[in-house]
Structure 1
């Protein structure tokens, strides 16, 4: 029978609004005329290949009573159609929320812990979800988390896994990753782009977005890592994930006491923070799946309906109208925003563009005059300059008269972060090979590290206090702002903050081999190459240093 608005199913569910048409099923908003409330209704033809599996999944999932699931209220076949009735919730699905950007870490931890606790209760009943994607997680208007489609979503899409519990745990990990960086592990998911990879391995959240706390990064890695880094123990069940998220430093113990009067939290009004933001203006997504305009206002009570009692006859009990609604429970409020990094002082020293242009013009004029008079003398002393790309590349071949200073080591310097900015690759900046490079992690929002830090860079150890006249840094193409800083001449170790170094030269919009020169004699053991703005790399931003040459 054709399903259209106005049709009455089982003598009580009046079909109202079409929400979506997917996987061979149509989702509708309907009105339960017995209890006078909205419900979500999935209908598919009885002859559809997956109709029997969907009906079976709906009946099995009804035994799970955790309030964080949008529970199945009814499931049956009527004439040529199979239908599943679920609770209705006005709110916004996670995929629409993440379209406005990643969540702040504390919100991400709280939301995913709610999902993990719900799945833990379902697993104890032997029921699995198997299709944990953002569109199946709803944040209601009063701040509760609701999971849609326990067992039924997988049946509707024909999803099966040999280890169902492991797949659900990986689904929880993918949700956490998406909440932290607004990217989806393993490929795109709806409008979420795929998580970036490097050398065939997915980047950790901390490598993708600044400000992700190390404990949350570790939880993601312990779920999704193949294998987890640093020989960490794999999280193999939902209960273990709940415990890990409860001890990540962002759990409930770290939150201020909730105001019992303030049970309504609108995610769309949360102010922006450097670690992630929420934005408004998006249509809410309901339990049915697609976006639609809510007609119940901003204050919506989620009414929990009765659990179907298969032993009592299912449809016959429904027709008798014996089911009574249960009072709604008060959901926990959404945790407040929290700053995820220390307030970092911004540097104020910049070369004025007009001065830079004047210096460049004078240098070009002087060079042209030198060539006109008799050529440029590159000097008859110092070490010979090897041809590019042969293992001893010098991006400053005009400085042959200056003695090249060997650099003993290079170390990534990221005092306002915690992941070291690819410290294991820092040596590539001093290996004499311009075909290799140290790179920063990728930043998706802006050239200034998403506003999370004033800069980062590399610390060079010259082995002993040494006279330095010039440093040449090859930063690639695209425009990089950088500074040359030096440690005090008596420093026994490099300072741990950028303020411990003295700025001796600055270049704005650098490209290729960039010369940095102190105005006065400089004697130091430690140098800092400090990047304050990085160039675009495709649609994102990433800095690089392929070679550094120090001369004295």
Structure 2
């Protein structure tokens, strides 16, 4: 397929600049419209690909919905060589990035975002269309403080999914509640794949939001549990019913959402509107958007988000029916005029906001001034001495009974009657390991699974498992296609991990090591237990001997090969000691 390199010009007009993602030879680019002088988003597919007709149909259907909460389709065409769809570029921060930077949102603001998404689904589903792949990456908080949805129908078509089916509409409704769950907890519980951390589960059931984060209002907790958890077998809600439930909780908004600040690319914040001159000078933010110096056509503004401290409505849909239950109330308190409020609060946020009263501060007990100083410490010392004497006497008595002549009061229990201390076990190669490949951002999320057993077959000179070949390097670089590729090793028991040895083809390979009690199905989170770079042979030591039943070998940099980048692994050995 042509138009695969940065700098290529599509249809004599759209110059491809940055490759944003790739799915089964379908590519998503940022491009520059040479005619109108503005950035655009372009989905490109080979014209011979079986998904091309569905991509064109999805573009037409998306344009027909015509809601301002969708990034508009600007152009679409299919030639003898390529099929492409051009979308509006919307500047702002995706919900995924906002949650990663600032943590879960206040309940009412989270509800407003999900309500806007659900309201868009009502309009689209009534026309027989669906998004098909709704997740936090597809929800944009734009520079006007509005919610906008990315890739409506088009993204699903690129992934081989027909967005215009009843199942796609059902998945939309589940994923819309997943967006609410994610905004409340920072975890993803929807059906569509997402790079966010997955929601915790108990025996396969998604935990309620209140079990993940304190302070989630009961109506929202009940709604999430009905759609995502134990109530998933109940009659499904329609998009209109879902929107009614969410809008009933968030109430009538009265203040606009502040604009996201682009001061820090890693931390998108909501700030008061800035003058036009300052807006034109801002650097581009880290999400998909329209350049600040482009004048956009006037559009009907969606409803504004709620203020941070709106009162809770008295009786939303799915309200708790328990007798005597009263929804939480918060006293009104106007924020300072010059205050800057973030889109996502600090991770320490834990429930409804309200004035600090000091009522929850413990009061220290009044000391006993008649007590003589030092008497408490004296009693403690005497107790410790008594315990030591009892232990020594017991040890001497035990060895006398067992006729141990080598036992003394100064050296109890060192005789030769079975009390010898065993030397600490030396780490050895763990046998019986099985392996599974992991590519959370692939479609499907695998990397040559038919060869993965080769990495633990004990043959360091034989055949190798290999990744796909990539045009660009992986890792955390802004231009990287994905953060990493992994091998999940099942140790078949709990071990304290000492090190990993590698036999590779090509060099260098950058590796991070993670140790856990359950297998990974998504990008690893938290700090790795160890990291390093290996050549054709190498060893990575793991400090602190972390314990676990699974080890993740997470490759964040691949060796360069002809035409791109690829890792080839002959053997991985895990050294450790059993803790069972």
TM-score by length of 1: 0.52
Q: Distance in 2 between matches of 1:96 and 1:23?
A: 25
Q: Residues 373 and 81 from structure 1, CA distance in 2 versus in 1: closer, same or farther, beyond 3 angstroms?
A: closer
**SS of equivalent residue, structure 2 residue 69:** coil
How does 1:139-178 map onto structure 2 within 5 Å? 139-160=141-162, 163-178=167-182
Residue 91 of structure 1 contacts residue 139 of structure 1 at CA under 8 Å; is this kept in 2? yes
Residues 207 and 229, structure 2, Cα contact 8 Å, conserved in 1: no
Q: What residue is the counterpart of 1:366 in the other structure?
A: 386
- Deviation, structure 1 residue 332: 4.8
Aligned: 1:218 with 2:243: no
- 2:124 alignment partner, SS class: helix
Q: Secondary structure at the match of 1:15?
A: strand
| Post-superposition offset of 1:191 | 3.8
* Match in the other structure for 1:80: 81
Structure-2 separation of matches of 1:17 and 1:43: 13
- Per the alignment, residue 560 of structure 2 pairs with none
Task: Give the aligned partner of residue 135 of structure 1.
Answer: 137
- The answer to whether residue 203 in structure 2 is matched with residue 206 in structure 1 is no
Is structure 2 residue 284 aligned with structure 1 residue 264? no
What secondary structure does 1:163 align onto? helix
Q: Once the 2 structures are TM-superposed, how far is the Cα of residue 188 of structure 1 from its aligned partner? A: 9.9
Q: Distance in 2 between matches of 1:285 and 1:177?
A: 22
Distance 1:218 1:341, change over 3 A: farther
Unpaired runs of at least 5, structure 2: 262-266, 272-282, 310-350, 368-373, 396-547, 549-580
User: Does the Cα contact within 8 Å between 2:135 and 2:190 map onto a contact in 1?
Assistant: no
Distance in 2 between residues matched to 1:355 and 1:90, nearest whole Å? 69
CA distance in 2, matches of 1:301, 1:364: 77
Distance in 1 (CA, whole Å) between partners of 2:92 and 2:226 is 31
For the 8 Å contact 2:175–2:191, the answer to whether it is kept is no
* Equivalent-residue separation in structure 1 for 2:87 and 2:388 (angstroms): 79
Supply the distance in 2 between the matched residues of 1:355 and 1:235 (Cα, whole angstroms): 69
Tell me the residue number matched to 2:241: 240
Report the CA distance between 1:69 and its aligned residue.
0.9
Match of 1:181 in 2: 185
- After superposition, what is the alpha-carbon deviation per residue over 1:261-318, rounded to whole angstroms, capped at 9, x for unaligned? x8635583359xxxxxxxxx9952105xxxxxx8x45xx7673xxxxxxxxxxxxxxx
Shift in Å, 1:114: 0.6
- SS at the partner of 1:35? coil
Measure how far apart 1:240 and its partner are: 0.7
Query: 1 CA distance for matches of 2:244 and 2:130?
Result: 19
Shift of 1:66: 0.8
Following superposition, the deviation at residue 82 of structure 1 comes to 0.7
Corresponding residue for residue 513 of structure 1: none
Residues 1:7 and 1:72: Cα distance change in structure 2 (over 3 Å): same
Q: Secondary structure at the match of 2:75?
A: strand
Mapped partners of 1:172, 1:129: distance in 2: 11
1:5: how far off?
4.3
1:150 Cα deviation after fit: 1.4
Distance 1:374 1:13 in 2: 87
* TM-aligned CA distance change 1:302 to 1:25, over 3 Å: farther
Deviations 1:332-389 (A, max 9, x none): 544333461565613254999x9999876543323344567899xxxxxxxxxxxxxx
Aligned to 2:400: none
* Residue in structure 1 matched with residue 455 of structure 2 by the alignment: none
Higher relative contact order (CA 8 A, sep 6+): 1
Q: State the partner residue of 2:126.
A: 124
Quote the Cα distance in structure 2 between the aligned partners of 1:56 and 1:355: 86
Corresponding residue number in structure 2 for 1:110: 112
Alpha-carbon spacing, 1:227–1:371, altered in 2? closer, same or farther (3 Å): same
Give the Å deviation of 1:258.
Answer: 2.2
CA distance in 1 between counterparts of 2:235 and 2:379 reads: 58
Q: What displacement does 1:16 show? A: 3.4
Count of aligned pairs: 327
Structure 1: distance between partners of 2:9 and 2:203: 56
Cα distance in 1, alignment partners of residues 91 and 269 from structure 2:
16
- Which SS does the other structure have where 1:122 is aligned? helix
Runs (5+) with no aligned partner, structure 1: 272-280, 288-293, 304-325, 376-537, 539-552
Partner of 2:362: 347
How far apart in 1 are the matches of 2:161 and 2:169? 13
CA contact (8 A) 2:206 2:228 kept: no
Q: CA deviation at 1:246?
A: 1.5
Residue 2 (structure 2) aligns with: 2
Structure 1 pair 327–135 and aligned structure 2 pair: CA distance change class (3 A)? same
* SS of structure 2 residue aligned to 1:143: coil
Question: How far, CA to CA, are the matches of 1:17 and 1:373 in structure 2?
Answer: 77
- What value does the CA root-mean-square deviation take over the aligned residues? 3.7
Give the match's secondary structure for 1:173.
helix
Report the secondary structure of 2:361's partner residue: coil
Say which SS state the counterpart of residue 164 (structure 1) adopts.
helix
